[in-house]
């Protein structure tokens, strides 16, 4: 089991990295069609990344080693985060070494370096992006951890594999706590991945940017890595939500037929979730920055309600 398990970890991480541009392409395809526009092919993000890798990377004169190291740092951390999430097999060996709080910490580490890289450029945009991004993430953190706590109280563990296993073993149970936690995590995921209504990922106006302003100075292969990382981050959050709240289909044994079926199942679930995301991005508008705390306090209230329903109603 051991060697096969670690091969599967490698396979899962590779799947995360290789399939995330396709997920983004699928999202963009649906957004365009919903908005009555001509859509690029779904493999367009791959072409974009290839193009960026081929371009020369430019460095701003004011930067130090932090600017140069950050793209590799955050891709490394995101890859590590991707390796501990059960994508197609519940009991991956890597999931045992880090639990869901460590996962939140990984994203915090990536964001720390990205904000520092933004400030390293010595421009006003970098500082603006760093300031806004850190504020939004600081406010999203209690909501996310409250959702994590509720989950771990339901599953009696913070280990991702144990959580999924316990939810699978319970069968169809109408849990109010999981319902509220699901919606709370959805809102938090919107804030953390920088989608509408928190941040518009395709904006060109610098003063409306949150995430893009931090990476404004990056070009060439460094920008390619950073773009790839944000696509992987979106896929990580999507997989986390579908596999924890709708885990049916994931394989519990390491044999080929189950793995293949699990792969199809998770692809199907991801396509549905991304479609919902595309619809919400079309229907909602980006909020003013100072309305984001209200949005995140709504997410916190949902998670808090999840916890309270667990304590009051379920025990």
Partner 1 sequence: MHQIVLVAVLVLLASALIALVDSQSPRFFRPLHFITMGLAGILLSVGGAYGLIQSQDHHWQLALGLPWLHWHQHLDTLSSFFTLIVGLATVAVAFYAPAYAKEYDKTPQPFAALGFPTAIFIAAMELVLLADDALTFMIAWELMSLSSYFLVTFQHQNSANRRAGFLYLLMAHVGGLFILLSFGIMAGFAQDFTFSSMMASHLSPVWMTLTFVFALIGFGMKAGLVPIHIWLPEAHPVAPSHISALMSGVMLKIAVYGFIRVVFHLIGDIFWEWGAALLIVAAITALYGVLSAMIQEDIKKLLAYSSIENIGIIFIGLALSLIFFGNNLPKLGGLALVAALLHALNHAMFKSLLFLGAGAVIQSSHEHDMDRMGGILKKMPWTGALFLLGCISISGLPPSNGFVSEWLIFQTSLQAEALSSGVLRAMIPLSAAVLALTGALAATCFVKLYGIAFLGKARVRSVKHIKEVDRGMIVAQAILGLICLLIGFFPTFVIEAINHISLQIMHVGLSQATSHGWMWLTPISAKTAQYNAPQVWLGLLLAFSGWAFVYFLVRLKHKHRRAKVSPWSCGFGPLNSRMQYTGASFTMPVKQIFGGLWQHNEDKSLVARNGLTEHAHTLRYKESNKDSFWILFYLPIVNLLNQATRRIGIIQTGHLRHYLGYSFFTLLFLLWLIS
Partner 2 sequence: MHLISLPIEEQAILLLAGMVLFTSFILLAQPRIVSTIHSFAWQGILLALVTVLVAYDTGLHHLYISALITFLMKGLFIPWLLHRLIHKMEFQREKDIIHHPALVLLAGGFLVIFCYSTALPIAKMSNSVTQPIIGLSMAMVMLGMLMLITRRKAVSQVIGFMAMENGLFFAAISATHGMPMVVELGIAFDVFVASIIFGIFFFHIKNSFDSLDVDQMSKLSEIDR
Interacting residues with partner 2 (CB under 8 A): 170, 172-177, 179-180, 293-294, 297-298, 300-302, 304-305, 308-309, 311-315
Q: Which is nearer to partner 2, 176 or 220 (CB)?
A: 176
Is there a cis peptide before residue 255, judged by omega within 30 degrees of 0? no
Q: Which is nearer to partner 1, 124 or 279 (CB)?
A: 124
- Cα distances from 267 to residues 28, 85, 178, in angstroms, run 17, 15, 22
Q: Which is nearer to partner 2, 84 or 292 (CB)?
A: 292
Q: Smallest distance from the beta carbon of 180 to partner 2, in angstroms?
A: 7
The partner in contact with residue 32, picked from partner 2, partner 1, none with C-beta cut-offs of 5 to 8 angstroms by kind, is none
Cβ count near 172 (within 10 Å): 5
Q: How far apart are CA 315 and CA 311, in angstroms?
A: 6
The partner in contact with residue 314, picked from partner 1, partner 2, none with C-beta cut-offs of 5 to 8 angstroms by kind, is partner 2
Q: Smallest distance from the beta carbon of 169 to partner 2, in angstroms?
A: 10
The partner in contact with residue 137, picked from partner 2, partner 1, none with C-beta cut-offs of 5 to 8 angstroms by kind, is partner 1
Q: Smallest distance from the beta carbon of 92 to partner 1, in angstroms?
A: 13
The partner in contact with residue 89, picked from partner 2, partner 1, none with C-beta cut-offs of 5 to 8 angstroms by kind, is none
- Exposed/middle/buried for residue 8 (C-beta within 10 Å: 0-12, 13-18, 19+): buried
The H or E element that residue 163 is part of is: helix 160-170
The H or E element that residue 92 is part of is: none
Q: What 3-state DSSP class applies to 89?
A: strand
Q: Smallest distance from the beta carbon of 134 to partner 1, in angstroms?
A: 4
The partner in contact with residue 176, picked from partner 2, partner 1, none with C-beta cut-offs of 5 to 8 angstroms by kind, is partner 2
Instruction: Classify residue 87 by its DSSP letter.
Output: S
Look at the alpha carbons of 209, 224, 191, 40 in this order and tell me if their dihedral is positive or negative: positive
Quick check: 140 and 299 in contact, CB under 8 A?
yes
Q: How far apart are CA 315 and CA 309, in angstroms?
A: 9
Q: Which is nearer to partner 1, 71 or 249 (CB)?
A: 71
Over the Cα atoms of the chain, what is R_g?
19
Q: Which is nearer to partner 2, 35 or 170 (CB)?
A: 170
Q: Smallest distance from the beta carbon of 183 to partner 2, in angstroms?
A: 9
Q: How far apart are CA 204 and CA 55, in angstroms?
A: 20
Q: Which is nearer to partner 1, 232 or 251 (CB)?
A: 232
Q: Smallest distance from the beta carbon of 254 to partner 2, in angstroms?
A: 28
Q: Smallest distance from the beta carbon of 30 to partner 1, in angstroms?
A: 30
Q: Which is nearer to partner 2, 264 or 312 (CB)?
A: 312
């Amino acid at each position: 089991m051991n060697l096969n398990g670690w091969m599967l970890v490698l396979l899962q991480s590779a799947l995360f990295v290789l399939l995330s541009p396709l997920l983004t392409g699928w999202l963009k395809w649906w957004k365009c069609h919903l908005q009555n526009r001509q859509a690029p092919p779904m493999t367009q993000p791959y072409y974009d990344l290839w193009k960026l890798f081929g371009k020369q990377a430019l460095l701003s004169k004011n930067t130090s080693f932090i600017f140069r190291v950050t793209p590799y740092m955050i891709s490394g951390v995101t890859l590590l985060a991707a390796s501990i999430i059960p994508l197609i097999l519940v009991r991956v060996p890597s999931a045992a070494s880090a639990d869901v709080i460590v996962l939140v910490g990984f994203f915090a580490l990536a964001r720390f370096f990205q904000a520092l890289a933004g400030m390293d450029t010595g421009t006003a945009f970098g500082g603006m992006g760093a300031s806004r991004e850190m504020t939004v993430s600081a406010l999203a953190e209690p909501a996310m951890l409250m959702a994590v706590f509720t989950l771990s109280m339901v599953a009696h563990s913070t280990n991702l594999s144990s959580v999924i296993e316990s939810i699978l073993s319970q069968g169809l149970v109408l849990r109010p706590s999981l319902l509220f936690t699901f919606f709370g995590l959805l809102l938090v995921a919107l804030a953390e991945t920088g989608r509408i209504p928190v941040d518009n990922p395709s904006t060109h106006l610098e003063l409306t940017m949150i995430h893009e302003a931090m990476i404004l100075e990056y070009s060439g292969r460094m920008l390619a890595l950073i773009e790839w990382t944000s696509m992987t981050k979106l896929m990580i959050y999507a997989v986390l939500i579908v596999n924890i709240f709708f885990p049916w289909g994931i394989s519990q044994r390491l044999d080929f037929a189950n793995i293949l079926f699990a792969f199809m199942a998770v692809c199907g679930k991801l396509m549905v979730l991304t479609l919902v995301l595309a619809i919400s991005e079309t229907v909602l508008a980006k909020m003013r920055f100072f309305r984001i705390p209200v949005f995140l306090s709504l997410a916190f209230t949902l998670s808090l309600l999840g916890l309270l329903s667990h304590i009051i109603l379920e025990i």
